[in-house]
Amino acid sequence: MSTLRKKLVMVGNGMAGVRAIEHLLKLAPEAYEITIFGAEPHPNYNRIMLSSVLAGGASMNDIIINDLEWYHSNGIRLYTGHTVTSIDTRQKKVHTDKGIEASYDELILATGSNPFMLPLPGAEKEGVIAFRDIKDTQIMQETAKTHRKALVIGGGLLGLEAARGLLHLGMEVSVVHIHEYIMERQLDEAASVMLRKELEAQGMKFLLKKQSEAILGKKRVKGLLFADGEIAEADLIVMAVGIKPNIELARKSGIEINRGIIVNDYMETNTPGVYSVGECAEHRGIAYGLVAPLYEQGAVLAKRLAGVQTEGYAGSITSTKLKVSGVDVFSAGQFTEQPGSRALRYQDEIEGVYKKLVIKDDKLVGAVLFGDTGDGAQLFSMIKNHENIKGMEKELLLGVSSDALASPKGNRLEAMADDEIICGCNGVSKGAIAEAIQSGGCTSVGAIKACTKASASCGGCKPLVEGLLQIYAGDNAVTVKEGICGCTTLGRDEIVAEIKRMELKTVKEVMNVLDWSNDEGCAKCRPSLNYYLGMLWPEEYIDEKESRFTNERYHANIQKDGTYSVVPRIYGGVTTPADLIKIAEVAAKFDVPMVKFTGGQRLDLLGVKKEDLPKMWEELDMPSGHAYGKTLRTVKTCVGSTFCRFGTQDAIGMGIRLEKAFERLNTPAKVKLAVSGCPRNCAEATIKDFGVVAIDGGWELHIGGNGGVHVRATDLLCVVKTDDEVLEWASAFLQYYRENAGWNERTAQWVERVGLESIKQALDDREERLALKERIEATLRLTSDPWKQIVNEPELRKNFEPITQPETV
């Protein structure tokens, strides 16, 4: 690096600080030699999406904003897992807990905030945590494997998201809140009650108007005592009661603090050369905790450091647009009535929609939207711009019409200020999008997304991005059809049709002939092409191992510590003493840290070293349970008529028959089956991809269920009388799904997309059912347990030798 560059050091690797660096690199890419210290062992990630990781809707990789390659390509020296312990403001040096010393010319303190932990007696006990970072998320996921009851203290957004994630992990969850209704900082009572009812329907419980007194238990938490003398049992307590700016480093360094690190309009502290941005900074007496204001601060700081003129940061009027456990919520401004203001309300209990507008002196000063938040950006613009809305009240309340959107300046999007935030998830302003279109040549929504990250997360702002594209690109705007990934504009059906028409037989050939923009493809398209080719040409296509994910390549689930979990197949949940002894002996021989019963009635051997996998499978000599793949996972059964006095059919026998029929079957996404021996449905067949429920004289066949993040009950496909008919319909349904669903599309989403009636119509003709059955059986005849091949071929064993660097999950 050039010695002419100034040295810029940033303490903190979070969203606000790194966004400031992103801006700085655009304004003055050669001005600084940049060093960043992050206390967490991760690159910059989106903390807002931790709840998605907890609930299983996203992985750590999914929420990373800037990967390690970004730091490298921009010449940034990144120290992860380093806590800066002291700053010498005279010598201009920082020191870390691992002995690193770094000199600076300019220093940014972006230390963020710490969770506020209630000072309750017993708060130090095992099982009492916050919900602030990836580590907290992992603790909750691990706890859910062995414990049942969770309490979340705090009925705000963070608490509700933690509760929803724990609920998804199978825990019994109650939310403890001191206020009389939840999310009182974002919602009024009416909207809050609607939200609570929705969450209660999902299984969440609430303990409102409760003052926590003490945490009970010896070493580990056992319960929570309230001031009224009541006790709630708990194995896990999550405190989500707020955050406080992390100012300890600034305080020790003599930098002026109050509630946060005090900064002026240019994000400068009282110490020359030291700046602060984000949740740790206090500007004009306010420390902000929302993304949009922090990104606005970052943009001002970047201009200051780059020597670009800026009016400075003048504070923010905040709005909140969020999705709480699947429900859209928006609030902005002063949404509670005050003297001199009036409120207009619209409530539709059937559709689950609530709107409230607060008006003062003919101006909109606050709004709450629940269930339908499409008008949020326009209403927020009116609040910020202090617009007179006299005569428009009804239109605004019932839905912003085209006339209401008109303004003296033309389209309301045109009238928005450039600093108006369009994408709240990523803090992208209207001005940034306009610049991307006018100067960056972005003429499609996809190009804007790639350039600015607008609409890259929840997608709720996409209509606004499309509107800005029309304003600034005009006739040059192009509608680029979104394909299965960014490498192609072709959708699933088009790709499959072309593969069949031109008889394409390899992944590389498909990408070449169909003009992939990326010659090597990506993590989305390569696995999908690998599946489509195998589905279309089962006898000819050679499975491309490098296009499969790590779990599928090693036929085991990789865990957070780099070890693997091994799940032998146990047909229908029925095993033998001999197999149990064999599993126990293998677990003991290979020092398996944990053996756990799974929800699918199997045994999971957790903590296996990669190099031990081939030998372990060889000694087990059992089929793989495919707990890692997009294939048949489990067939859950109850004991049915074999033992149960309520059973009307042999559920165990039917479950084993189905599992043996379809094991090793590659499918677009994971598939789970269940067989219940009577309508009491103990095997939970009505939330499986294919469920079989015994009735007097026959079987009900159900499809399209899901017990995951978005629970979906099955649809009744048909009723049959014989066991052979069950197998016939199951074969036909699974093959029809294989041939028509998109890769990674669960049956629940597929059934909703194509419609139950279309599936019934396709399977109603017995001749077509038998043809589908023959095709699936032909495919299955070509399969064998993958471990047989690995065990018998020394060359394949080399893939399992120890590696010197940690493997990317």
Residue in this structure with the two tokens 């670009």, named with its chain if needed = 308
pLDDT grade, residue 711 (50/70/90)? Answer: confident
pLDDT grade, residue 57 (50/70/90)? Answer: low
302 and 172 within one domain:
no
Higher local confidence (pLDDT), 324 or 591: 591
635 and 775 within one domain:
yes
Cβ-proximal residues to 417 (8 Å cutoff; 6+ apart), any chain: 381, 384, 385, 430
Residue 404 has pLDDT above 70, yes or no: no
Average pLDDT over residues 592-611: 91
Write down the pLDDT at residue 631: 93
775 and 653 within one domain:
yes
Inter-residue contact 87 to 253 (CB < 8 Å): yes
Cβ-proximal residues to 575 (8 Å cutoff; 6+ apart), any chain: none
pLDDT grade, residue 326 (50/70/90)? Answer: low
pTM, whole model, 2 decimals? 0.59
696 assigned to some structural domain: yes
232 and 159 within one domain:
yes
Q: Among 38-42, 233-237, 469-473, 701-705, which is the least confidently predicted range?
A: 469-473
- Compute CA distances 498 → 54, 495, 511, 529, 651, whole Å: 39, 5, 11, 12, 43
pLDDT grade, residue 543 (50/70/90)? Answer: confident
758 and 646 within one domain:
yes
Specify which residues 674 forms β-bridges with: 636, 691
Write down the pLDDT at residue 797: 57
Helix, strand, coil shares, percent, the chain, to 5: 35, 25, 40
- Distance in angstroms (rounded) separating the CA atoms of residues 533 and 743: 11
Three-state secondary structure call for residue 41? coil
Write down the pLDDT at residue 693: 97
Average pLDDT over residues 522-544: 89
692 assigned to some structural domain: yes
Residue 673 has pLDDT above 70, yes or no: yes
For the chain, the C-alpha Rg in angstroms (whole number) is 29
Write down the pLDDT at residue 407: 43
Q: Among 214-218, 326-330, 415-419, 676-680, which is the least confidently predicted range?
A: 415-419
Phi, psi of 346 (to 5 degrees): -135, 130
Name, of 82-91, 134-143, 309-318, 507-516, the range with top average pLDDT: 82-91
Write down the pLDDT at residue 769: 96
Domain that holds residue 196: 128-241
Write down the pLDDT at residue 809: 28
714 assigned to some structural domain: yes
Residue 410 has pLDDT above 90, yes or no: no
Closest CA to 412 of 367, 383, 381: 381
Average pLDDT over residues 52-81: 85
- Compute CA distances 613 → 584, 596, 618, 631, 704, whole Å: 16, 18, 9, 20, 34
735 and 633 within one domain:
yes
255 and 109 within one domain:
yes
Average pLDDT over residues 353-375: 90
Write down the pLDDT at residue 791: 60
Higher local confidence (pLDDT), 305 or 526: 305
437 assigned to some structural domain: no
Residue in this structure with the two tokens 């009804």, named with its chain if needed = 394
4, with CB counted inside 10 A (0-12, 13-18, 19+), is: exposed
45 assigned to some structural domain: yes
Write down the pLDDT at residue 80: 94
Specify which residues 79 forms β-bridges with: 37
Average pLDDT over residues 316-341: 79
Write down the pLDDT at residue 249: 97
Cβ-proximal residues to 792 (8 Å cutoff; 6+ apart), any chain: none
445 assigned to some structural domain: no
796, two tokens: 């394949």
359 assigned to some structural domain: no
Cβ-proximal residues to 779 (8 Å cutoff; 6+ apart), any chain: 535, 538, 665, 666, 735
26 and 149 within one domain:
no
21 and 139 within one domain:
no
Q: Among 54-63, 223-232, 274-283, 512-521, which is the least confidently predicted range?
A: 54-63
Write down the pLDDT at residue 806: 34
Mean pLDDT of the chain: 88
Number of domains in the chain: 4
pLDDT grade, residue 411 (50/70/90)? Answer: low
226 and 94 within one domain:
no
**Which of 531, 548, 565 delimits the end of a domain?**
548
Residue 518 has pLDDT above 90, yes or no: no
645 and 715 within one domain:
yes
User: Which of 774-782's residues contact partners 24+ apart within 8 Å by CB, and which partners?
Assistant: 775/735, 775/739, 776/662, 776/665, 776/731, 776/732, 776/734, 776/735, 776/738, 777/731, 778/538, 778/539, 779/535, 779/538, 779/665, 779/666, 779/735, 780/661, 780/662, 780/664, 780/665, 782/538, 782/539
Average pLDDT over residues 394-411: 56
- Distance in angstroms (rounded) separating the CA atoms of residues 704 and 690: 7
723 and 748 within one domain:
yes
Closest CA to 223 of 314, 301, 151, 315: 151
- Distance in angstroms (rounded) separating the CA atoms of residues 247 and 110: 10
CATH number of the structural domain spanning residue 203: 3.50.50.60
Higher local confidence (pLDDT), 549 or 111: 111
Angle ∠(534,536,541) on CA atoms, nearest 5? 40
Average pLDDT over residues 15-40: 95
Residue in this structure with the two tokens 């419609």, named with its chain if needed = 755
Write down the pLDDT at residue 446: 77
Residue 30 has pLDDT above 90, yes or no: yes
pLDDT grade, residue 1 (50/70/90)? Answer: very low
Average pLDDT over residues 256-281: 97
Average pLDDT over residues 497-525: 88
124, two tokens: 């130090």
- Distance in angstroms (rounded) separating the CA atoms of residues 293 and 115: 19
656 assigned to some structural domain: yes
CATH number of the structural domain spanning residue 739: 3.30.413.10
Cβ-proximal residues to 326 (8 Å cutoff; 6+ apart), any chain: 198, 202, 710
Residue in this structure with the two tokens 């010197």, named with its chain if needed = 804
Higher local confidence (pLDDT), 585 or 553: 585
Residue 580 zone, left/alpha/beta (φ > 0; ψ -120 to 50; rest) = alpha
